[in-house]
Amino acid sequence: MGQPHPPFRFARSRRLVGGIRRWATAAAGALALTGGLVAVGPQASAAGLTQVTGFGSNPGNLSMYAYAPDALPAGAPLVVALHGCTQSASDYYANSGWPKFADQYKFALVLPQTTSANNQNSCFNWFDSGDSTRGQGEALSIKQMVDKAVSQYGSDSRRVYITGLSAGAGMTANMLAAYPDVFAGGSIDSGLPASCATSVSAAYTCMYSPPNRTPAQWGDLVRSAAPAGTTTWPRVAIWQGTADTTVVPANATELRDQWTNVWGIGQTPTRTESLSGGTTLSEYDDVSGKPAVRVYSISGMKHGLAVDPGAGPEQCGTTGTYYLDTICSSYHTARFWGLDGDAGQEPGPGSLPAPTGLAVTSATDTTVSLSWTAVAGATSYEVYRAGTKVGTASSTAYTDTGLATGTSYGYTVAAVDASGATGAVSAAVTATTTGFTPTCHTAGNYDHVAAGRATQSGGYTYATGSGQAMGLWNTFTTHTLKQTAPGYYVVADSGCSA
């Protein structure tokens, strides 16, 4: 969260002293809390963050804190938010921005809290299978908090979501894998793939150099953690700063691979979009055309939770250690989950059908022109090249510019309605620009022949296409060849300008 050490210093202490769980449980009940935290029974006050007791057997020795807005209706959603190492429930409540949207969109918040009795640096033990497996340790304690909150606030058990930062994000990924029947969605902020580590040493490996597993291998870790026969999965948001040196950005790629594989979809984004704070949003749609996985990559952000202090509708949170002023991640996550209602959901697939008749009308060395059939109700169209949005058209035609010569590109188009919702994506077409981009190749004659840039006859070498003599066919005679057209090379030992 902005620095290379906490909140991921997670040396264990829970099992060093016998009976410490019993001591910590008793101490937590008697703890004098500040910042509006009050220990209460079943009827928690809506005035601020409150401690809730008696939520279950609590095998993970966690504390439960909750916030319920005034006039919370029955059947409202529930969001669970997990702090990072060295943090607390009150710290996360005060800085993350989630209370603002709980008030605005009317949902209850649960903020689990761990202590140094569990982990020396108050980290959730995401790397310990005894704490992150279904029905065990901290994972079960969090599940018991969900059950308590659903009962206490009348929450809709079909709309329970979980989010977390850093170690809390690692635990979030594991909770989504272990309890896909409990959580409809999750948000992993500066976190790691589910089941990435089962020991402290492996945790550091995951943080700094995550295993480069295949999507199927990552997906299998989720499927093996979930109840047998699970077919319904949570929708997952992944937030990552590109300058994070504590949990390196490669983790976001592995997370994307993991959850797109679980959903049975590919790793090429359906669409991309630029948001505020230097954020790039990549969306991966399920078979129905609805985003199942979203990756938010924040340029230049270090380790932490993305916040954007201010009174604007898209702003939230306060800056501080590991709360970084870029974009309000809580706002975008809430909209991704649909907590604001249908009218305000994050821009995404709307009800408009996919455009038909997409065709390439012309191509030059550096441009491709497209056309398609109009969609009723469309106010504009988004054009995608290889899954990335490259432009918006107000009509049914678009010209893409600045392309490389002699190169093939794939295009799709989607219609946008008056509310800004993007409809289904069209079938793809492939366009190839004209011309040829020269290339230079310096190698021994033997390698030139092996690569097809030259031919050999009678022990001598000749450039493919031009037939220019290149000397003996061996590895000791070196030439530079310039490819000036497909299958045509010339000797360019005096200088290659490509």
89 within 8 A of 63, measured Cβ to Cβ: yes
What is the dihedral sign for C-alpha 397, 361, 403, 364? negative
Bridge partners of 491, per DSSP, are 481
**What is the pLDDT, as a whole number, of residue 270?**
92
- The one catalytic residue in 90, 132, 155, 166 is 166
Give the Cα separation of 471 and 461 in Å (integer): 6
The domain 359-432 is placed in CATH, from the list 1.10.3720.10, 1.10.8.60, 2.60.40.10, 1.10.10.10, at: 2.60.40.10
**What is the pLDDT, as a whole number, of residue 340?**
87
Active site residue 288: no
**What is the pLDDT, as a whole number, of residue 3?**
35
**What is the pLDDT, as a whole number, of residue 264?**
95
**What is the pLDDT, as a whole number, of residue 387?**
67
**What is the pLDDT, as a whole number, of residue 133?**
96
Bridge partners of 410, per DSSP, are 430
* Domain 20-344 CATH assignment equals 3.40.50.1820: yes
174 within 8 A of 194, measured Cβ to Cβ: yes
270 within 8 A of 284, measured Cβ to Cβ: yes
**Quick one: three-class SS letters along the chain?**
CCCCCCCCCCCECCCCCCCHHHHHHHHHHHCCCCCCCEEECCCCCCCCCEEECCCCCCCCCCEEEEECCCCCCCCCCEEEEECCCCCCHHHHHHHCCHHHHHHHHCCEEEEEECCCCCECCCCCCCCCHHHHCCCCHHHHHHHHHHHHHHHHHCCCCCCEEEEEECHHHHHHHHHHHHCCCCCCEEEEECCCCCCCCCCHHHHHHHHHCCCCCCHHHHHHHHHHHCCCCCCCCCEEEEEEECCCCCCCCHHHHHHHHHHHHHHCCCCCCCEEEEECCCEEEEEEECCCCCEEEEEEEECCCCCCEEEECCCCCCCECCCECCEEECCCHHHHHHHHCCCCCHHHCCCCECCCCCCCCCEEEEECCCCEEEECCCCCCCCEEEEEECCEEEEEECCCEEEECCCCCCCEEEEEEEEECCCCCEEEECCCEEEECCCCCCEEEEEEHHHHHHHCCEEEECCEEEECECCCEEEECCCCCEEEEEEEECCEEEECCCCCCC
Domain ranges of the chain: 20-344, 359-432, 439-491
**What is the pLDDT, as a whole number, of residue 18?**
32
Which amino acid is residue 337, in one-letter code? W
**What is the pLDDT, as a whole number, of residue 405?**
86
CB-based contacts of 221, cutoff 8 Å, min separation 6:
177, 193, 194, 195, 196, 258
Name the one residue in this structure whose structure tokens are 């109840």.
227
**What is the pLDDT, as a whole number, of residue 32?**
24
**What is the pLDDT, as a whole number, of residue 131?**
96
**What is the pLDDT, as a whole number, of residue 8?**
53
pLDDT tens digit at each of 498 positions of the chain: 333 344 454 444 443 333 323 323 322 222 222 233 333 333 333 458 999 999 999 999 999 999 999 989 989 999 999 999 999 999 999 999 999 999 999 999 999 999 999 999 999 999 999 999 999 999 999 999 999 999 999 999 999 999 999 999 999 999 999 999 999 999 999 999 999 999 988 999 999 999 999 999 999 999 999 999 999 999 999 999 999 999 999 999 999 999 999 999 999 999 999 999 999 999 999 988 889 999 999 999 999 999 999 999 999 999 999 999 999 999 999 999 999 874 334 444 467 888 999 999 999 989 999 999 999 999 999 998 876 788 999 999 999 999 988 888 888 898 998 888 888 878 888 898 998 888 999 999 999 998 999 999 999 999 999 999 999 998 889 999 999 888 999 999 999 876
Q: What is the pTM of this model?
A: 0.65
